[in-house]
Amino acid sequence: MASMSAVLSKSPFLSQPLSKSPSSDLPFSAATVSFPSKSHRRGGVIRAGLISPDGGKLVELVVSEPRRREKKHEAAELPRVELTSIDVQWMHVLSEGWASPLGGFMRESEFLQTLHFNSLRLDDGSVVNMSVPIVLAIDDEQKASIGESKRVALVDSDGNPVAILTDIEIYKHPKEERIARTWGTTAPGLPYVEEAITNAGNWLIGGDLEVLEPVKYNDGLDRFRLSPAELRKELEKRGADAVFAFQLRNPVHNGHALLMTDTRRRLLEMGYKNPILLLHPLGGYTKADDVPLSWRMKQHEKVLEDGVLDPETTVVSIFPSPMHYAGPTEVQWHAKARINAGANFYIVGRDPAGMGHPVEKRDLYDADHGKKVLSMAPGLERLNILPFRVAAYDKTQGKMAFFDPSRPQDFLFISGTKMRTLAKNKENPPDGFMCPGGWQVLVDYYDSLTPAGKLPVPA
């Protein structure tokens, strides 16, 4: 099996304004990027080394081994707040420094800056991006049980202490405002809202976080969950002089692969010697109709095994964040987190972090707004945003290729619905759409959901 970990790198470039690229409402678009020219390089030379984390250093919140027993004894004497599975995922994110320089669940000032400015102002006056609230909700009963205590123990679903929250602040949970500002709508049916906000408590509790042990899920995938510090170590080990990150929550098809290999080719042409791809699937909460993480990881492994991507220049790791499906607001979080792992290039495509409108028959967000927002977002100036143009299946070549508007009749766009229907019916897509091993994983997944004897799904 191909080696899978994660990898990133630094360049001295500032983000450049986006050049116009063909937009499309068509599915499964992939992208070519607008690269900074040599004139934009500081000093006109390529510089090696990883980009520094937001705030200058990684904020790692796991208690050191010698102090864990002592901290567990302290936690046993404190008021308790039970965490949901999504709360645990956010605790994981915080503990490893993905949200650096954030040092715990947000207090009210941080929450309000995030909602209203999509950024946090640090003590030295500098600004870092922060577009989604990382907060912990409690109800009236929990608030009463905490009383005047300035510390609480955070416990898992079995009642085991997993963290301590210190110097706490409890404040109102303005659910409607939070939803409206994060998603741009309060329409019913937003997956994350229904899962994590609607029935959550009416109070938020923030404070400094101490996590008692590294977060593990014991699902066979923990070896892929590399922290930002581990990713940086891996990148340095590989000698990466540029790292381009690609976030996804879907199976990899050959349009994605075309984009990623073309991006590496362009970076080599610019003078980089060893650009490394960070293939970084989202591993936290996703909506019910997304392919589960375990199956996606099997599919990604097959993509490497079948040679669609080069294991020597690709690192695959799981990003532990839950998914909001909040479009241009959320994609800033996805980009910012990769800075903390060392990435200096971020690939963004059509409608990043988007979804269909939960009530109306349309997309919730404009398909081009995500990449435009990333090019202007406060606190992301150090990150090079790589927007892409459309890729589709070229019938004349029998493979995925960049769309040529001069011959549209030669291209086939395969929607997500069509792909799922084919996989459910154990039918094959056109040769060259996805590697055979990766496609078989999808067929096996949908087959595992189909009751015995059920008829094929109509196309």
Which two tokens mark 365? 């967000």
Of the candidates 419, 418, 420, 400, which has an alpha carbon nearest to the alpha carbon of residue 410?
400
Which two tokens mark 193? 């809202």
Backbone angles phi, psi at 120, to 5 degrees: -125, 135
- How large is the average pLDDT for residues 263-288? 95
> What is the tens place of the pLDDT at every residue in 151-180?
999 999 999 999 999 999 999 999 999 999
Q: Encode 89-122: b = buried (16+ Cβ within 10 Å), e = exposed.
A: bbbbbbbbbbbbbbbbbbbeebbebbbeebbbee
DSSP string, 393-431: EETTTTEEEE--TT-GGGEE---HHHHHHHHHTT----T
pLDDT confidence bin for 456, thresholds 50/70/90: low
Find residue 392's DSSP bridge partners: 401
Rounded CA-CA distance 280/246 in Å is: 6
- Checking if the pLDDT of 4 tops 60, the result is no
- Checking if the pLDDT of 333 tops 60, the result is yes
- How large is the average pLDDT for residues 278-298? 96
- How large is the average pLDDT for residues 137-151? 98
Rounded CA-CA distance 92/337 in Å is: 13
What is the Cα gyration radius of the chain? 22
pLDDT confidence bin for 454, thresholds 50/70/90: low
Q: Give the dihedral sign, CA 279/285/290/292.
A: positive
Q: Residue 14: what pLDDT?
A: 29
Q: Residue 326: what pLDDT?
A: 98
- How large is the average pLDDT for residues 396-407? 95
**195 within 8 A of 285, measured Cβ to Cβ:** yes
Mean pLDDT over the full length of the chain: 89
> What is the tens place of the pLDDT at every residue in 39-65?
333 333 445 568 999 999 999 999 999
List, in order of start, the domains of the chain with CATH numbers: 65-211 (3.10.400.10), 222-449 (3.40.50.620)
Q: Residue 29: what pLDDT?
A: 32
